[in-house]
Amino acid sequence: MKRERRFQPFAIFFLILMLGSWTLVPSAGAESDKAEEKPWERFSLILGGGIVYMKSDVRIGSQSTGISVNLEDALGLDTNMVVLRAEGIARLGDSRRHRLDFGYFDLSRSGTKTLGREITIGNTVYPIGTTVDTEFDMKLFKGAYSYSLVQDARIDFGLGAGLYVLPIKFQISNSRSGAMEDSSSTAPLPFVEMHIDYALTPKLFIKQNLNLFYLEYKQFKGRLVDATIGLEYNIWKHFGMGLAFNIFSLSVQDNGETSNLKGSIAFAFSGLMLYGKVMYW
């Protein structure tokens, strides 16, 4: 859990940066009457990928009996991996102020390691020298709606809400002894969303997006921060490219019967993504 806190200052930085971009609104509004066409596409599809740095902790069982295990240090999962990501945007209506966002990416990993220390997961003890196989399957599906409160030829500022659906499965096993422990959860996490897109030129854009979620209910506790800032250039009318930096931090904990997790999962990553973008106006 403590590793996640390193990502919180980055999230605060993104929030300050995005709120600071609001100072651009008066000058943008002054020029809106002169603009013949807004530079915001009606539909777009983004496909890209990049190398991300990850940290993850898993606890199976209650807080009193379960033991938290770091998947990278203790079980040998890679801290760096190439992640492919797909996103889509649809702006509805003649004003294009109503916006739908969709996203998907897969962060599943697996690994094999001979343990250098004894660990206990659930009801199973894995002694030193045991070779274990670990699978950590995690996929993210995102859907969101937002409304552009300010939109002209220079800026698109919107607020909205959405839903993340995260099928998560953790499994550790030993093929010789047949011992296996697993935990799974499909967590629907609602979030509030804010985006600020700024046109530096008719073809060059700064893109900023921030998604936040926090909920405590009975013995369930969840938190999510997803922040992105990028630079995007439209090479042609229907194709562009961009480079974005993304941080993502997730913590889900359930010590009761609220979900089928029966433990906790803490996960965070950060990295750069290079992508291509197909647009329709």
Could you give all domains of the chain from N- to C-terminal order, each with its CATH number?
A: 2-280 (2.40.128.90)
Q: Which of 65, 141, 131, 70 is nearest to 106 (CA)?
A: 141
Summarised one tens digit per residue, pLDDT across range 236-246 is 999 999 999 99
The confidence score (pLDDT) of residue 141 equals 95
Torsion of CA 194, 250, 108, 210, to 10 degrees: 10
The confidence score (pLDDT) of residue 183 equals 72
The confidence score (pLDDT) of residue 136 equals 85
The confidence score (pLDDT) of residue 27 equals 45
Whether 213 and 250 have beta carbons less than 8 Å apart is answered as: no
Q: Which residues of 133-152 are buried (b: 16+ CB within 10 A; e: fewer)?
A: bbbbebebebebebebebbb
Query: How many CA atoms within 13 Å lie on the side-chain side of 89?
Result: 21
The confidence score (pLDDT) of residue 17 equals 55
Summarised one tens digit per residue, pLDDT across range 206-237 is 999 999 998 887 777 888 999 999 999 999 99
Between CA 266 and CA 128 the distance in angstroms is 25
pLDDT-flagged residues of the chain (< 70): 1-36, 60-68, 122, 255-262
